[in-house]
């Protein structure tokens, strides 16, 4: 059956939000209406106007420009942290599945359980406190939380695939475990990994905003949505738009990627859709 958008409204809405965010971030790399780091104290705390569409902050910096560049910074942290977690977690989970029931497999899974016992943002905060603030360290900290998520998923999916006839036939033909994993196991669980990566991306965006709010993520003068929220806290009563716009950007981004992940899960696993109807 062909794709019917009305059967996957979450996928359509989430995909539209994700595409819009990527378009804004890409545009922010080459053009912004103003320099997002330029201080203009005479223009400080202006409301939305024809010149400054979403107003200016306490240092006179244009909010639209900072939101555009902040979108790129958030995407960079989210993509790199999820990619690192995906690669490391998938390799670890697939390797553990090949040693199912062994002490090594048990050690890997119990370590994963220990890491997952802490919330994502708390894990990232603890790590960044240890290794220092900055975007690069934030990427590493968020990736560490993503590793056990993908490892558990990859191990579960690999165990299911390894029991199928074509894998048994490949093993009987003399293929090594590495060749079997690359040629048969990974392609059959790629869809599940992509779905999980989309959901983890939303969590990574939220974690990056939390770290930046605490001063542990993207460092000034580089714009960051979380940092914009932190700087707006003093002006909540008089200039609420300073917090509304970056807060709405974070909420809309997280909502969009969660909807996209749910829609992709419906496509990959129709049983999940039937369970919710």
Share of the chain above pLDDT 70, in %: 95
Q: What is the pLDDT of residues 26-38, one digit of tens each?
A: 999 999 999 999 9
- φ, ψ of residue 56 to 5 degrees: the values are -130, 160
Q: Is the pLDDT of residue 15 over 80?
A: yes
Rounded CA gap, 223 and 225, in Å? 7
Is residue 85 one of the residues assigned to a domain? yes
CA torsion, ordered 218, 221, 225, 228, to nearest 10 deg: 130
Tokens describing residue 33? 């209406």
Tokens describing residue 74? 């958030």
Q: Is the pLDDT of residue 2 over 70?
A: no
Is residue 153 one of the residues assigned to a domain? yes
Bridge partners (DSSP) of residue 56 are 62
Is residue 81 one of the residues assigned to a domain? yes
CA 77 to chain centre: 8
End-to-end CA distance of the chain: 19
Q: Is the pLDDT of residue 179 over 90?
A: no
Where is 191: in which H helix or E strand?
A: helix 186-213
Is residue 96 one of the residues assigned to a domain? yes
Tokens describing residue 87? 């690669």
- The number of distinct structural domains making up the chain is 1
Q: What is the pLDDT of residues 123-174, one digit of tens each?
A: 888 888 888 899 999 999 999 989 999 999 999 999 998 888 888 888 888 8
For residue 158, give the CATH number of its domain. Answer: 1.10.3720.10
Write out the residue range of the structural domain in which residue 207 sits.
Answer: 55-276
Is residue 217 one of the residues assigned to a domain? yes
Rounded CA gap, 194 and 260, in Å? 11
Is residue 218 one of the residues assigned to a domain? yes
Residues 56 and 40: beta-carbon distance below 8 Å? yes
What's the mean pLDDT when you consider all of the chain?
90
Residues 228 and 55: beta-carbon distance below 8 Å? no
Residue burial 16-48, b: 16+ Cβ < 10 Å; e: rest: ebbeebeebbeebeeebebebeeeeeebebbee
Rounded CA gap, 145 and 5, in Å? 34
Is residue 138 one of the residues assigned to a domain? yes
Q: What is the pLDDT of residues 194-245, one digit of tens each?
A: 999 999 999 999 999 999 999 999 999 999 999 999 999 999 999 999 999 9
Rounded CA gap, 158 and 116, in Å? 20
Q: Is the pTM of this model over 0.85?
A: yes
Q: What is the pLDDT of residues 41-78, one digit of tens each?
A: 999 999 999 999 999 999 999 999 999 999 999 999 99
Cis peptide bond N-terminal to 221, omega within 30: yes
Sorting pLDDT into bands at 50, 70 and 90, what band is 1? Answer: very low
């Amino acid at each position: 059956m062909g794709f019917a958008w009305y059967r996957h409204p979450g996928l359509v809405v989430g995909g539209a939000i994700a595409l819009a965010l990527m378009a804004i971030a890409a545009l922010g790399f080459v053009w912004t209406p103003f320099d997002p780091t330029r201080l203009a104290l005479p223009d400080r705390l202006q409301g939305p106007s024809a010149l400054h569409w979403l107003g200016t902050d306490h240092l006179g910096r244009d909010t639209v420009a900072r939101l555009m560049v902040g979108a790129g910074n958030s995407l960079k942290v989210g993509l790199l942290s999820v990619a690192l977690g995906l690669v490391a977690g998938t390799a670890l989970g697939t390797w553990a599945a090949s040693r199912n029931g062994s002490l090594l497999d048990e050690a890997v899974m119990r370590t994963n359980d220990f890491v997952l016992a802490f919330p994502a943002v708390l894990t990232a905060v603890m790590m960044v406190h240890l290794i220092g603030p900055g975007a690069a360290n934030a990427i590493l900290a968020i990736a560490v939380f993503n590793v056990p998520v993908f490892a558990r998923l990859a191990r579960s999916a690999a165990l299911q695939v390894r029991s199928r006839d074509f894998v048994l036939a490949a093993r009987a033909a003399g293929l090594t475990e590495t060749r079997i994993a690359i040629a048969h196991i990974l392609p059959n669980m790629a869809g599940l990994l992509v779905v999980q990566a989309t959901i983890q991306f939303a969590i990574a965006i939220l974690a990056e905003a939390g770290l930046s709010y605490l001063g542990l993520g993207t460092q000034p003068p580089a714009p960051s949505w979380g940092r914009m929220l932190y700087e707006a806290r003093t002006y909540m009563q008089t200039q609420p738009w300073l917090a509304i716009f970056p807060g709405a950007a974070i909420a809309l981004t997280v909502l969009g990627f969660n909807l996209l992940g749910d829609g992709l899960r419906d496509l990959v696993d129709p049983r999940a859709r039937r369970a919710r109807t």
